[in-house]
Amino acid sequence: MEFQNDDDKPVRRPRTQVLTKRLDRVFSELYSIASFIGRFFKEVFLPPYEFKEIIRQCFEIGVKSLPLISLTGFIIGIVFMNQSRPSLAEFGATSWLPSLVSLAIVRALAPLVTALIGAGRIGSMIGAELGSMKVTEQIEAMEVSATNPFKFLVVSRVLATTFMIPALMMYTMLVALLGAFLNVNANEGTSFTTYFTQVFDAITFLDIFSSVIKSALFGFTIGVVGCYKGYNSSKGTEGVGKAANSSVVTAMFLVFIEELLSLQIITALR
């Protein structure tokens, strides 16, 4: 960081000034994010309620994600079963495979994988969509036409992600367990009834409830990050790409942080 003085000689800016400006930008960004989230919680309870747009977004986010979720969940079940078998086989405990896999999928894999797929597909989609609307001044046009763009664009999408990520997580859980069953059935000959009896004996209500709550938090985070980055993107086509990219990176980072924090809380409750 340099500037010219009266003698046209470059003078290095003091580090304290540079640090102060960076801190100002950080705190300004944090304030903007907090205001954005606060506005969401204010708008979500005020009429009019955009039920049609929420349902449309649920379809875009949930139903259109099913092919990718199905393939990913099925592969996860097979791969994790294959990776777990050698370790348990050394102790002659392959009969514990259904219990082990069910705990791993229900407690960690299903919520985390669903959130990461959601951050990649849904977060980028929301960021790019709102970013392009910002660039083409469609958001300003909605304000001029007496429409609340924040409620129509942001609230509907955040609610849709909050509702659909837990639903997709439950579907991922089911598909992964089915994939694991096909693997254990082919190798150990475990029947469908025996397999799922061991699966449901291993998991508890707290496991499922905590996974649903985590997934809802992940969905809320993905929706807020995507909407914030897109809604506040800079003008120009470059801003749209930055909004989509930063939505994915930021959402994934926050998902991992939330997973770590939730793990500590759930472990303490358990």
pLDDT, tens only, 81-132:
888 888 877 777 777 888 888 999 998 899 999 999 999 999 999 988 988 8
CB neighbours of residue 138 within 10 Å: 13
Paired strand residues for 11: 3
Helices (H) and strands (E) in the chain, counts: 12, 2
Please give the average per-residue pLDDT across 59-73, as a whole number: 92
Please give the average per-residue pLDDT across 132-152, as a whole number: 83
pLDDT at 216: 95
Band the pLDDT of 143: cuts 50, 70, 90: confident
Provide the token pair at 136.
Answer: 């083409």
pLDDT at 9: 53
* % residues pLDDT > 70 (the chain): 93
pLDDT, tens only, 13-63:
567 776 777 777 777 878 888 898 998 999 888 888 889 999 999 999 999
pLDDT, tens only, 167-184:
999 999 999 999 999 988
17 residue type, one letter: Q
Band the pLDDT of 1: cuts 50, 70, 90: very low
Q: DSSP E strands: which ranges in the chain?
A: 2-4, 10-12
| Distance of alpha carbon 101 from alpha carbon 92, whole angstroms | 16
pLDDT at 211: 92
pLDDT at 233: 82
pLDDT at 88: 78
Please give the average per-residue pLDDT across 198-223, as a whole number: 92
CB-facing half-sphere around the CA of 221: CA atoms within 13 A: 25
Query: Based on C-alpha coordinates, what's the Rg of the chain?
Result: 23
- Segment (H or E) for 46: none
The DSSP secondary-structure symbol of 31 reads: H
Candidates 65, 84, 76, 98; CA nearest to 165 is: 65
| Distance of alpha carbon 194 from alpha carbon 208, whole angstroms | 21
Q: How far is CA 231 from CA 106, 119, 130, 139, in A?
A: 34, 17, 6, 9
Tell me: pLDDT of 227 over 60.
yes
pLDDT at 12: 57
Instruction: For the chain, give the number of residues.
Output: 270
Paired strand residues for 2: 12
CB proximity list for 84: less than 8 A, separation 6 or greater: 97, 100, 101, 104
Query: How confident is the prediction for the chain on average, in pLDDT?
Result: 86
Tell me: pLDDT of 2 over 70.
no
Q: How far is CA 41 from CA 45, 56, 155, 218, in A?
A: 7, 21, 9, 17
Tell me: pLDDT of 219 over 90.
yes
pLDDT at 133: 87
CB proximity list for 98: less than 8 A, separation 6 or greater: 180, 181, 184, 190, 194, 195, 196, 198, 199, 202
The residue written with tokens 């609610």 in the block is 159
pLDDT, tens only, 158-171:
999 999 999 999 99
